[in-house]
Amino acid sequence: MSSEANFGARVRIGAIWAYGAQVFVTVLTFIVGVIMARVLGPADFGVFIAVTAFTSIALVVVQFGMPPALIQAPTLYEEEKNAAFWLVLLMGIAFVAIALLVAVPLGQAYQSMQFAPVMWAMSAVFVLTAPSCVGLALLRRDMAFDKVARINAVAHVTAAVLSVVAALLGLGVYSLALGALVAMTVTSIGVVRFGSWRPSWPSLRPVLSLLRYAWFSLINNGQDMAINRADNIIVGVLLGTLSLGLYNRAFSLARLPSEQFADSLGPVLLGALSRIQNDLDWSLKMFFKAVSAIATLTLPFLALLFVGGPTFVLLIYGEAWAGAGPPLQVMVFGGFFMLLTSLQMRLAFAQGLVRESAWVHLGVLLATLVLTLAAAPFGLIAIAAAMVMRDVLWSSLLAKLLARSALGVRYADTLHAGMPPLLAAGGATLVTWLVVDIPADDTASRFLGLAEMGLVLFAVYGLLLGVMAIVWQTHGPLQSTKELVWDSLAGRIGGRRRRVPAPR
């Protein structure tokens, strides 16, 4: 078997582990989210989201871009790993102090008495970041995604159980903070248990070799986090924590399919593309295959959220969350472009285009602020539409960056790779919309109507995509996805574990 085929098999094995773990975590998170939403309600979630809007950005700064730098580095020495660990740990300690100082003023801005105590509790995750992020990065660099999957599964199960118990005992928003702390703690223990690397005596100088990539990676990741949190901050400040809870629920559901597939497989794709970064043709071939395969998996779920989203929200979360339905339907239109954005960023980072990507992220951040502020007076649906515009802009700017790089990949080629599933999803949405009507009489009728809608949509989607796979023989990414599906059904992907060759 050729080196490309061997490497591709290893990537597929990693993708299966990563995706399997993500499916498990997503199902678990969804079930726990439903329970917590019914126990706590939108206001408690709004407070927690307001806190995590800041702690999530801080966590990106604490990591200082080290995880992607460790993964992308062509060569990596023990001294560099050790220095990366101690740098992240020092940053974590510094941000604990910062969180203690700014929690009260931020709580006053949100007019919430619970904000400061929750933020103080959440600040403990900053210290736990060093072992978890460095350890996971080294496992992903070695493509040990089976170990990463086990660690994530155990961490999420433990956090879910304790968080639900705490909510049922009446701890309110603090039960959400407890879940986040437990997940990070168990992850840190897991990487020590499964990983072979251990930190040694503190030393920072060897980290200098990683800093150029890490610095721009930090800027990109920080801006990326700010982009995805800026709208939450503005909604919370201008419209209140209740509106923030509804908006975030709609946003989370609209992003769930893309996160389930594109983001969960992103680390696998980044690791694979980093290993073959000098072979441009091979990199592009793998990128287009990823666009086609992930779009094929993602788009039917986005279509289902569009046609049945409001009923789904009402049925699963209850009447208190009904206001999240209409914004959800609008946000779904940005899901395809967010999928492309996630994959485009992995390709750009694997090629070392972190400095150039920083300018793209800065432009998107500014656009997010302007669009959200302009739409806020008109309500959540207007903000949702503004975020769709932001998603299209983001993917377009990354496409221009990749077109000007050594890769020379055109946006038309990227869109072409995802066109068959996009067309199939559009056709399935239209047919489902015309032939299925969900009754509004009672819960049982809504459930049966939603189930019928899902069956019709997925059946039509599969039929349309299957016809295109037969007719559109010249579409290389689609044919690759078809082969991947047949290999999966035949059980040939796993195979026996092979040694990964050096990049060509």
How much is the pLDDT for 490? 59
pLDDT score, position 249: 86
Q: Mean pLDDT over all residues of the chain?
A: 84
State the alpha helices, DSSP H only, in 436-494.
Answer: 443-471, 476-490
pLDDT at 495: 44
Tell me the HSE value of 462 on the side-chain side, using a 13 A CA sphere: 7
Please spell the DSSP secondary structure of 221-256, one letter per residue: HHHHHHHHHHHHHHHHHHH-HHHHHHHHHHHHHHHH
Residue with tokens 């105590």: 117
- Asked if the model's pLDDT at residue 497 lies above 60, the reply is no
Share of the chain above pLDDT 90, in %: 27
Give, in order, the Cα–Cα distances in Å from 380 to each of 20, 56, 251, 304, 471.
34, 23, 11, 21, 42
pLDDT at 388: 94
CA 365, 370, 373, 379 torsion-angle sign: negative
Q: Report whether 344 contacts 398 (CB < 8 A).
A: yes
The percentage of residues in the chain with a pLDDT greater than 70, rounded to a whole number, is: 91
In this prediction, residue 147 carries a pLDDT of: 85
User: Helix or strand or coil: residue 266?
Assistant: helix
| Residue 252 to residue 262: CA distance in whole angstroms | 15
Residue 265 predicted with pLDDT over 90: no
> Which pLDDT score is estimated for 502?
40
- The answer, as to whether pTM is greater than 0.85, is no
pLDDT at 494: 44
Give 299's pLDDT tier (boundaries 50, 70, 90).
very high
Which tokens is 10 given?
């290893």
Average pLDDT over residues 433-438: 83
Picking from 130, 160, 149, the residue whose alpha carbon sits closest to that of residue 194 is 149
Whether 437 and 448 have beta carbons less than 8 Å apart is answered as no
8's tokens: 């591709």
Cα 94 to Cα 58, 62, 64, 117: the distances in Å are: 11, 9, 13, 18
pLDDT band at 317 (very low <50, low <70, confident <90, very high): confident
Look up tokens 């990070």; give the residue. 184
pLDDT of amino acid 492? 47
**DSSP-assigned letter for residue 441:** S
- pLDDT, one tens digit per residue, over 374-408 is 999 999 999 999 999 999 999 999 999 999 988 88
Measured on CA atoms in the order 319, 26, 71, 502, is the torsion positive or negative? Answer: negative
Place of tokens 């009446």: 170
Maximum average pLDDT range among 34-43, 67-76, 228-237, 470-479:
470-479
Q: What is the number of other CB atoms lying within 10 angstroms of the CB of residue 418?
A: 24
Spatial CA neighbour of 304 closest among 256, 350, 262: 256
The per-residue pLDDT for 441 is 65
Question: What is the spatial distance between Cα 292 and Cα 424, in angstroms, rounded to a whole number?
Answer: 12
Q: Which residues of 217-241 are buried (b: 16+ CB within 10 A; e: fewer)?
A: bbbbbbbbbbbbbbbbbbbbeebeb
SS3 state at 305 = helix
Instruction: Quick: pLDDT tens for 330-358.
Output: 999 998 999 999 899 889 988 888 888 88
Instruction: State the distance between the two ends of the chain, measured CA to CA, in whole angstroms.
Output: 14
Query: Which tokens hold the place of 136?
Result: 């996971």
Confidence of residue 424 (pLDDT cuts 50, 70, 90): very high
Who's near 193: CB < 8 A, 6+ residues apart?
none
Q: How does residue 214 score in pLDDT terms, banded at 50, 70 and 90? A: confident
Task: Map tokens 């223990």 to a residue.
Answer: 189
Rg, C-alpha atoms of the chain: 22
Name the percent of the chain in helix, strand, coil, to the closest 5.
85, 0, 15
The Cα 342–Cα 335 span in angstroms is 11
pLDDT band at 491 (very low <50, low <70, confident <90, very high): low
The encoded tokens of residue 406 equal 């050594």
